[in-house]
Amino acid sequence: MNTLLTRRTALAAIASVIATRSALATPEQAKEWLAAQAKGTPTEGKITLKAPEIAENGNAVPITVSVESEMTEKSYVKAIYIAADGNPNPPVATYEFTPLAGKAEVQLRVRLAQTEKLIVVAEMNDGTLYTASREIKVTIGGCGG
């Protein structure tokens, strides 16, 4: 009898973990995370976000983010923040730069749970913020199944 009770308890615990993991973030949570990273109001411009309009598989969606910048001591990209507004956790990546980088560009593959929006914020060394976003339609889930 104890074995049956232990199995039930274990299955209940596993189900609880799975249910918790499958909860998706909201667009508001993505905005809050980005606002906590970079203080201020970002404006459109300077960022090029390349990503497919439709991803047949959400497990590895290729994206490229580049920011127009001189990348000199006087003017450079300090950081790039990337969030996904429908993943279990909105933060996707944070990249920090110095003028020695020469170019503010990153390429990565992201895992998307569903059709959702990627939001990018670039923070310049003077505190100026720029943003870009793109909705990506996912036909087979990555994070969510």
Q: Which amino acid is at 71?
A: M
1, part of any domain: no
9, part of any domain: no
87, part of any domain: yes
2, part of any domain: no
115, part of any domain: yes
Q: Dump pLDDT digits (tens) for 5-20.
A: 566 665 565 555 544 4
45: containing domain: 24-138
133, part of any domain: yes
| Among 94, 80, 88, 95, CA closest to 116 | 88
Q: What share of the chain is helix, strand, coil (3-state, %, to 5)?
A: 25, 40, 40
Q: How far apart are CA 130 and CA 122, in angstroms?
A: 5
129, part of any domain: yes
The CATH number of the domain where 127 resides is what? Answer: 2.60.40.2470
pLDDT given for residue 105 in this prediction: 97
**Residue 9 falls in which region: left (phi positive, over 0), alpha (psi -120 to 50) or beta:** alpha
113, part of any domain: yes
Q: Dump pLDDT digits (tens) for 68-115.
A: 999 999 999 999 999 999 888 899 999 999 999 999 999 999 999 889
pLDDT given for residue 127 in this prediction: 95
Residue reference for tokens 């569903």: 114
The number of distinct structural domains making up the chain is: 1
Q: What is the pTM of this model?
A: 0.79
